[in-house]
């Protein structure tokens, strides 16, 4: 998974994969300007898929487990400053 650098509201965000960039940019920079809901679908064999869903426009972003950890860590550290959060 390659990481890139993205600027959100003039602030530099580093080490964020392309899917996470899309989520954070959507929640922080579009007209939605919202929090993201986490939804997890699991099969009986515990094979799960996680998505972030924008409650304003219903945009859905599927993310990998590693990205979920990074996104939660970024939200804990920066979400308040940007006025966005990803919640369980």
Domain that holds residue 51: 3-87
Read off the pLDDT of residues 5-29 as tens digits, 9 standing for 90 and up.
556 556 656 677 888 888 888 887 7
Write the burial class of residue 79 (CB in 10 Å: 0-12 exposed, 13-18 middle, 19+ buried). buried
CA angle 37, 23, 6 (to 5 degrees): 145
Whole-structure pTM value: 0.68
Beta-bridge mates of residue 53: 37, 60
Considering its fold, how many domains does the chain have in total?
1
Read off the pLDDT of residues 53-74 as tens digits, 9 standing for 90 and up.
888 899 999 998 888 888 888 7
How far is residue 13's CA from residue 32's CA, in Å, rounded to a whole number? 20
In this prediction, residue 4 carries a pLDDT of 46
């Amino acid at each position: 998974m390659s990481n890139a650098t993205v600027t959100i509201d003039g602030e530099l965000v580093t080490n964020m994969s392309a899917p996470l960039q899309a989520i954070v940019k959507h929640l922080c920079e579009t007209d939605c300007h919202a929090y993201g809901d986490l939804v997890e679908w699991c099969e009986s064999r515990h094979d799960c898929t996680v998505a972030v869903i924008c409650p304003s426009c219903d945009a859905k972003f599927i993310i990998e487990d590693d990205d979920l950890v990074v996104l939660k860590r970024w939200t804990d550290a920066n979400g308040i400053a940007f006025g966005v959060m990803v919640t369980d």
